[in-house]
Amino acid sequence: MHDSSIKDDKVTLITKEGLEKLKEELVFLKDVKRKEVAERLKEAISYGDLSENAEYEESKNEQAFVEGRILELEEKIKYAKIITGAAKGSVQVQLGATVVIRNLTKRGPDEEYIIVGSTEADPINHKISNVSPVGKALLDKQQGATVEVIAPSGTIKYEIIKVK
């Protein structure tokens, strides 16, 4: 169910596994990292003169980063929308789908990617974002289609070999 009062730019498209990772990171930051930073800060304050205390400045910066990341994660989790895999038998590329593509421009080996939301994008592990040039070109296309992607190195043609 989509709440129309929530702006689409706030929605975090994410797989169930990705959401669990965000929740784990949030728990770690709140329960462990916050305490570590607070201890470092207390220790730095005990050194005296705060105006020339590099340890104090570094601890304050780290504290600001941790608190900012906690707020960011809470926001992403609050507006998370789970991506499920493509419907069985679907030949159309959707979020959560695994896609096998062939680079027709470079004639390399077939490559397999999972289309994920930008929060989970990890090209090294074959997870490409739905807003990346390749991900955007593949979305809603059919198995067997050819797509063109404009990259810094020029236009690259891909054929969608299989949608899983």
Comparing CA positions, the residue from 99, 116, 130 lying closest to residue 17 is 116
Which residue is it, tokens 């005990």? 46
Domains of the chain: 8-82 (1.10.287.180), 98-163 (3.10.50.30)
SS3 assignment, position 157: strand
Pairing of strands 80-82, 12-14: parallel
Angle (CA) 17 22 26, round 5°: 145
Cβ(159)–Cβ(101) below 8 Å: yes
Q: Tell me the pLDDT of the chain (164 aa) as tens digits.
A: 444 444 566 777 788 888 899 999 999 999 999 999 999 999 888 877 777 778 888 999 999 999 999 999 999 899 888 876 555 555 788 888 899 999 998 888 999 999 998 888 898 999 999 989 999 999 989 989 999 998 888 899 999 999 98
Helices (H), 9-93: 16-28, 34-46, 54-78
Dig out the tokens for 120 from the structure.
């989970």
pLDDT of residue 89: 54
Closest CA to 11 of 78, 105, 110, 56: 78
Taking only the tens place, the pLDDT of each residue in 89-111 is 557 888 888 999 999 988 889 99
DSSP bridge partners of 121: none
- Report angle CA 37, 10, 152 to the nearest 5 degrees: 90
Element (H, E) at 84: none
